Structure 1
């Protein structure tokens, strides 16, 4: 498989994680020389070089950045309950700053960073709220009331600062729920019984293989600056028409356009036009009638 990444040294932080392990293997298969930075050992990592270390440590990150051309920063505590509020917030924002500041100062030209759909604040918000409108897009108003979402919002700010300070081009992905096909299918079965919990995330999902593909495009796309993109499968993970779901669970929320079939109510235009990204692994679900 020919790729412009062949022979280039790519640092992947959080390489043993759900997205990281698949991304490390994908980039290796493209011919990249992958340095995997992980806080835990994983004998299954498909990497040219493995560094066991902490992304909060200046020394560990400096060691991992040796001879690196490109950076993929995925290391994070991925949920508000993944630690104390202090641990979740501080781990995420310090890690992102540390990795991008060092990479930028070294002259690394491109970084891809895992943000989250939670950067807009609504999915984990403890109040009974809905998005400002559908489809969700990169300019949607935020309403943050948890430390994980705040960390992702500030990670995006760090990306913009790093570009302005050091000229490192940064692509941030607002990932939805990303998982393996079997887990996504199990979640879809749950939404068949009760779709209500998916309303704040627009019933969105992404296969881990598509997350790795998006990261590949983020590393190779012809762009400059700091960019944030929503990425998701083009369809929802609920077996009902999107319009029916919104009628039932977000009846008062404005819709900027109508949705066809199970079309995900997220605007994927930017990722499609700038990066050429379209998910290649979507759930094959029937479209059933939603009973009121």
Structure 2
């Protein structure tokens, strides 16, 4: 029986791409889900469904009633999802509002959706690369857009909430997350233009694995507020990782070699602290790279 069986879990952004699958996953574990969404979605099935705004103190207070855990997924998920002001303020105010209220209520654990973009690399307007491979959570950031800044500050908010109220916060640095069909379609594009995957280190994650990571974030023995890169263990490119790095990032230091299509991100933290290993990965052939 899951540790979440019978526990009340608030999921914000519940009608989003990750949210819908997470709610379904938590339902299957026996959790009592309060789903908070800013849109009415007939696909959203939960014990309690609320329509509201995560920036609203009253809406969040209502959604947190009786909650044991919090999963905060609500966000504008791209720099172009609104004006710079809308994207930044929506994301940081929502995260502060949810974590501050949850912490003040004495809730012990929250999982928030951070992003690989908290590093600033993927959307940076300058021609930058990850500082080294395997890329890890201790790498310095280089922020050049408002969405990435919002994700970095969401992680800062998590640390503040833990320090202030003692609420443990798992910040999952998601890469591109999508259904198996959409991930395959993206892989087909990467096969044609592999250099386009460099800034995200050719990472991806199936929505089902994102929901599984959320489950582990809520239940794993853990104290503090830390970010975790979370991704499939293989890349979305049908080429050996060493060949990709030789061709498109020869100047970036490599701290070790990579076997086959091994993703050039260090997944040690998410594996050892949360016990995560992706269950749904792309089944790709290994082709010869001809850049």
| TM-score over 0.5 (shorter chain) | yes
Which residue of structure 1 lines up, in the alignment, with residue 128 of structure 2?
Answer: 129
Alignment of 1:31-50 (within 5 A): 31-50=30-49
Question: Helix, strand or coil for the counterpart of 1:200?
Answer: helix
RMSD between superposed Cα atoms in Å: 0.5
Q: Does residue 197 of structure 2 align to residue 214 of structure 1?
A: no
Question: Helix, strand or coil for the counterpart of 1:115?
Answer: strand
TM-score, with length taken from structure 1: 0.99
Distance 2:152 2:43 in 1: 32
Alignment of 1:41-80 (within 5 A): 41-80=40-79
Distance 2:81 2:30 in 1: 34
Distance 1:142 1:275 in 2: 23
Alignment of 1:140-219 (within 5 A): 140-219=139-218
Distance 1:271 1:61 in 2: 29
* Residues 83-131 of structure 1, C-alpha deviations (whole Å, 9 max, x = no match): 0000000000000000000000011100000000000001000111111
Q: CA deviation at 1:223?
A: 1.0
Q: CA deviation at 1:237?
A: 0.2
Question: Helix, strand or coil for the counterpart of 2:200?
Answer: coil
Q: CA deviation at 1:46?
A: 2.0
Q: Which segments of 5 or more consecutive residues in structure 2 lack a partner in the other structure?
A: none
Moved over 6 A (4+): none
Which residue of structure 2 lines up, in the alignment, with residue 139 of structure 1?
Answer: 138
Distance 1:255 1:209 in 2: 31
Which residue of structure 1 lines up, in the alignment, with residue 83 of structure 2?
Answer: 84
Distance 1:215 1:129 in 2: 30
Which residue of structure 2 lines up, in the alignment, with residue 283 of structure 1?
Answer: 282
